[in-house]
């Protein structure tokens, strides 16, 4: 006459017909995984060449940096002009 177990000891039925593959089941030369680029990028970013880290990858980084700075400066000038125009009284 003891207590009935709350949790069933039987495993529930599978939802899908097949089981999922684990990463350990994959072959070592799986082509979709690609090449590990981390060691190459670590060498690039840790090189002591005097460049800041946001400009180490060359032309694309310079283009992105200059575009961001131009948009920032342009937006600041636009905000100052809008603030000046809003501070002027309207003529009747």
Question: What is the full DSSP assignment across 30-71?
Answer: -GGG----HHHHHHHHH--SS--GGGTT-HHHHHHHHHHHHH
The pLDDT of residue 76: 98
pTM: 0.52
Task: Give yes or no for residue 4 having a pLDDT over 90.
Answer: no
Question: Residue 5: its pLDDT value, please?
Answer: 66
Q: How many Cβ atoms sit within 10 Å of the Cβ of residue 44?
A: 14
In angstroms, the CA 27 to CA 77 distance is: 57
> Is pLDDT above 70 for 78?
yes
User: What three-state secondary structure class fits 20?
Assistant: coil
Query: Does pLDDT of 49 surpass 70?
Result: yes
Residue, of 26 and 59, whose pLDDT is higher: 59
């Amino acid at each position: 006459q003891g207590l009935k177990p709350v949790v069933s000891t039987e495993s529930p039925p599978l939802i899908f017909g097949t089981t999922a593959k684990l990463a350990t089941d994959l072959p070592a030369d799986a082509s979709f995984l690609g090449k590990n680029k981390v060691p190459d990028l670590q060498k690039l970013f840790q090189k002591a060449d005097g460049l800041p880290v946001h400009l180490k990858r060359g032309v694309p980084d310079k283009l992105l940096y200059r575009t961001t700075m131009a948009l920032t400066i342009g937006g600041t000038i636009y905000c100052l002009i809008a603030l000046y125009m809003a501070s002027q009284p309207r003529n009747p």
